[in-house]
Amino acid sequence: MTTGTVTINTAAALSLSDIGSTVLPLGTKFTIIQNGSATAVTGQFAGLSEGSTVVAGLNTYKISYLDNVDAGTVGNDVTLTSVVPEPTCLGILGIGMSLGLLARRRRRVHV
């Protein structure tokens, strides 16, 4: 837990690594910064405004700088919560799978 003023340098990059091949249950939350003070976190990670999504392995996460994991009076904790991938990602995945199946079907030789 951090107490006092928390400032994220806007040039700071958030780097995530997937250490497994598991899809997490929706709503799984990871606390990056638990701010024990009554002041808001200032700044944000480069390219990740409130509600932005970031992908690590098979999981997509939404970042929040306004969460309240410590049940304090101010939403000032930084968290990542697993969410459903955006429709664009699902569409691309579906197209890729369809093309793979078509290629596989064409390789079969019918006698």
Flag whether pLDDT at 96 surpasses 70. no
Domains contained in the chain, number: 1
61 within a domain of the structure (yes/no): yes
The mean of the pLDDT values for the chain is 82
74 within a domain of the structure (yes/no): yes
In tens, the pLDDT along 82-93 reads 998 665 555 555
9 within a domain of the structure (yes/no): no
pLDDT at position 1, please? 80
Flag whether pLDDT at 97 surpasses 70. no
Instruction: Return phi, psi of residue 65, to 5°.
Output: -100, 5
20 secondary structure, DSSP code: S
Q: Write down the pTM of the prediction.
A: 0.73
Provide the pLDDT confidence category of residue 37 given band limits of 50, 70 and 90: confident
Name the residue range of residue 79's domain: 29-84
Radius of gyration of the chain from its Cα atoms, rounded to whole angstroms: 20
* Angstrom distance (rounded) from CA 13 to CA 109: 51
18 within a domain of the structure (yes/no): no
